[in-house]
A and B are shown apart, each in its own frame.
Chain A
């Protein structure tokens, strides 16, 4: 298998044009941190975006950063820290900006920070047949034409290689505090979610709850007091990072990510002895022994109109879910990757 490491956007365009002409099945690779989430087939070539790691523009006053897509999250966050700002995703430091966008993964603190997909305001994509196209604008607001950048976000490289992006960034919170409660379960966590105004995250497990707070010092004190009105049994940690999804349960062969509406979290966790749920959002992570357990979970969750993605160790049945609008999606993939070389 051929490994390709383009240095420029033009290189990417030339390479994909050749690969399309030759009909070589190709995988677009960033930091390789979220590949487990997608259906991967055997390929003849891997096109790595990691050499594309330049800063194109960053002015903190604009709250926008324009970077090449192969930039590592570690480097991006270091750049933004210079402006006392952040891009609120919780990806592995080795992940790339383009990879996180292609995988469509939002941060744990989304109740406060919003979704990652809404932070991508401009995007350059090299289509499967080697055309460089740009969508969106380097402004925080824009309704100008059809949003190819929204389509590319979460597309897992099926339309082309994301080579450059402009992302909205935000001021780093003045204070970050995590309250760890020695009491667990969905209903206790829901009580906290109702009692504490505007938390960044309420993360429930069977025997503990993490309440993630951030903001101005005065407001975090207010939130802490609101939590205290519910229970006094918690530890307070300042500036404590929340464990990333990829770090959960390294012992488990399969790590499943369940997506349901928040009111179905209780059902989604039923039957599991270990789980972690993002309250008010509806994501639940569950470690599983094997593919059979994954299959059973899929059946359970499908009955709740939810979906299951294997973050790690999963076998993805081809077209696992027949989503509506499939014809439309197929026509789009045909138009962007006419030779059908992209995974």
Chain B
């Protein structure tokens, strides 16, 4: 039986009162992440060490209380939004860089280390941590691991998964495991690979071994502006066709450029239909060669101006425009809803046109800033929730945008994750067998189904369904033991319907 009060009292004894929050304000603060999804927290802890997490997980297991891991809370899909009476494990106080080993090209860090702080700490060694989500000033490495975070520079360097060599994790029963390895080879199944991007549903990551990427000796950042969105998109394809994989290749439409310019004063041309922010890096020779190809591609497709950053200050200014986009939209309307679907990059224009049409139909303002090189769209709907009926329109438009991307051969999420927000869209892209197999992964880590419940998998996705048919097959084969063993995971991953109430 679940026993929240008992758990809270025990946690105060184990961790001390300063690390346990249960007052109404704290519970309110930790009841949501940066998405629109609203939840409720049962008790909140701020562990300082891996041992604290182990003790808390064991206590939660004894009391049968679900556990929701949380980093900085910048997630945009409700992945860290607690549902029901959960223990929220906030890792922000576990913020030490444990060791940096340039010769081994790795560093061990605690999950609460802020992404940008890690990059800055590594700079003197000549290396960096490559993932750079737009939230990098506030988001934590643990959060990056759990959402397999991307960022503008993952076009050339890959998403977070490519930069995590190993994780130390505390399982729901309080057991500690190291998954992956410091060295170049792992024995057995790549469990590290499934933990990255698992949205806190498999355990609590208490340390991550990150890969160090050499800082490129030279870099060039260019702002290209176009009078049509089609020309900008055609330039993206032309750059790739010339064999150039820029470090970053970002597109912003006129709406977002106007918002950003008023906010950041980066000198973006507000009369352009679209701008591309292109960064190439490498050795000086590679930067020169790639710049030439980028400029050539743009000229073929009617670029109006090419502005190359002259020095670090101008480069920072150009990036400030891009990275402040989500802050800038606050000027448009008090609330926004940010999407994150991925489409084949050759279908960007068609999908973008569709997004504009959907927004118009629902009388919403949409602006677009996105990772064009990756085909990762971020349509941003701006609105005022104070106007009656707005939320309905936003939700209807959102669903249409998701379906539009899926119909174009896309995926539900490029870098934000599924969380609560998109879990009920999962059957659009996966069969029940696909989802059953995914539920088996969850069940293998969390047989009791207590880790971040209700997230990622839709109602009805069960490892058990997988097991029922398997048990039948085994019985036919006369293997009673296998049939019995196939019962594993029946209780777990039986993704349930959300409790009553509106979550968004």
| A residues lining the B interface (CB < 8 Å) | 17, 20-23, 59-64, 84, 104, 106, 114-115, 117-118, 127, 129, 131-135, 137-148, 150-151, 153-155, 158-159, 170-172, 174, 197-198, 215-223, 257, 259-263, 278, 280-283, 305-307, 309, 320-321, 323-326, 328-329, 331-336, 338-340
Contact = CB atoms under 8 A, between A and B. Distances in A.
Interface string B265-304: 0000000000000000011111011100000000000000
A338 B343 contact: no
A19 B445 CA distance: 28
A148 B7 CA distance: 35
A335 B444 CA distance: 9
Nearest to B438: A146
Nearest to B284: A222
B98 to A, nearest CB: 15
Given A59-B346, A144-B429, A219 B103 contact: no
Contact of A143 (B413, B463, B477): B413
Contacts of A63: 240, 245
B245 A171 contact: yes
A280 B344 CA distance: 34
B330 to A, nearest CB: 26
Interface in B149-188: 150, 154-155, 158-159, 161-162, 177-179, 181-188
Nearest to A324: B177
B433 interface: yes
A219 B185 contact: no
Contact of B413 (A127, A144, A326): A144
B193 A141 contact: no
User: Which of A145, A257, A325, A334 counts the most B-chain CB atoms under 10 A from its CB?
Assistant: A145
Given A150-B161, A216-B289, A321 B412 contact: no
B456 interface: yes
Given A280-B105, A335-B467, 20 more contacts: A20-B477, A23-B478, A63-B240, A84-B243, A139-B375, A139-B414, A143-B159, A144-B411, A146-B456, A148-B441, A153-B190, A171-B244, A220-B285, A282-B184, A328-B191, A331-B488, A334-B485, A334-B488, A338-B474, A338-B486
A141 B486 contact: no
B214 interface: yes
A22 B159 CA distance: 43
Contacts of B189: 151, 154-155, 158-159, 325, 329, 332-333
A110 B393 CA distance: 48
B241 interface: yes
Contact of B283 (A132, A219, A305): A219
A263 B106 CA distance: 11
Contacts, number: 291
Contact of A141 (B159, B184, B286): B159
A143 B435 contact: no
B456 A62 contact: no
B454 interface: no
A216 B286 contact: yes
Given A139-B344, A335-B443, A150 B185 contact: no
Contacts of B473: 17, 20-21, 129, 338-339
Interface stretch (B17-25, B37-45, B117-125, B415-423): B415-423
Interface of B: 101, 103-106, 147-148, 150, 154-155, 158-159, 161-162, 177-179, 181-191, 193-194, 196-198, 214, 216-217, 237, 240-241, 243-245, 282-286, 288-290, 342-346, 371, 374-376, 409-418, 426, 429-431, 433-438, 440-445, 447, 456-457, 463, 466-467, 469-471, 473-474, 476-479, 482, 485-486, 488-489
* Chain B contact surface mostly: mixed
A323 B189 CA distance: 10
B33 to A, nearest CB: 15
Nearest to A340: B482
A147 B196 CA distance: 9
Given A61-B240, A154-B186, A261-B104, A141 B162 contact: no
A146 B159 contact: no
A142 B414 CA distance: 4
Contacts of B286: 215-216, 218-219
User: Which of B217, B237, B411 counts the most A-chain CB atoms under 10 A from its CB?
Assistant: B411
Nearest to B374: A141
B192 to A, nearest CB: 9
29 contacts: A17-B473, A23-B478, A133-B434, A137-B411, A139-B376, A139-B409, A141-B375, A143-B159, A143-B197, A143-B418, A144-B412, A144-B413, A144-B429, A146-B438, A146-B456, A147-B197, A171-B243, A174-B289, A218-B285, A221-B285, A223-B283, A263-B103, A278-B184, A307-B185, A325-B188, A331-B488, A335-B470, A338-B467, A338-B482
A148 B440 CA distance: 10
B243 A198 contact: no
A218 B437 CA distance: 48
B422 to A, nearest CB: 8
B187 A151 contact: no
B371 A141 contact: yes
Contacts of A223: 283
B105 A262 contact: yes
B477 A22 contact: yes
Contacts of A334: 485-486, 488
Given A135-B437, A141-B375, A150-B194, A261 B182 contact: yes
A62 B431 CA distance: 25
Nearest to B422: A144
A115 to B, nearest CB: 7
B244 to A, nearest CB: 7
User: Which of A59, A106, A174, A334 counts the most B-chain CB atoms under 10 A from its CB?
Assistant: A334
Contacts of B429: 137, 144
Nearest to A23: B477
